[in-house]
Amino acid sequence: MKIVIQHKDNTLTVSLDGALDYKATVTMEGLIHDMQQIKAARVVFDMSKIERVDSVGLGMLHLAKDEIIESGAKMVLRGASGNVKRLFELTDSQHSFEIE
């Protein structure tokens, strides 16, 4: 999985590319750690290039959300489509995440 981070004004945009699955755990843990160093009021995860999310990847999004909320920021998931969007629908993720 590839990650691109952009920080503009008070928004941190995290663009993810590839599969958010068990193989991305170390990468996501590093991302969560790095995000703690950047102060932003809003963190947007751009999911438009994510092709697949498994249960571990979904768990990592929850961990990221917990850290983001603890820092006083808001987290948004944006651009999910296909199977990723379907997973969010099946897991009732709209109640756990703000999804655009």
Give the pLDDT confidence of 2-34 residue by residue, as tens digits: 999 999 999 999 999 999 999 999 999 999 888
Transcribe 21-79 into DSSP letters: SGGGHHHHHHHHHHHTTS--SEEEEEEEEEEEE-HHHHHHHHHHHHHHHHTT-EEEEE-
∠ CA 23-61-42, nearest 5°, is 135
Mean pLDDT over 67-88 rounds to 94
* 3 state SS of 19: strand
The pLDDT score that the predictor gives to residue 51 is 95
What is the CATH class of 2-76?
alpha beta
Tens digit of each residue's pLDDT (9 = 90 or more) over 28-77: 999 988 888 888 999 999 999 999 999 999 999 999 999 999 999 999 99
The SS3 call for residue 92 is coil
pLDDT at 37: 85
Domain ranges of the chain: 2-76
Task: Return the pLDDT at 39.
Answer: 87
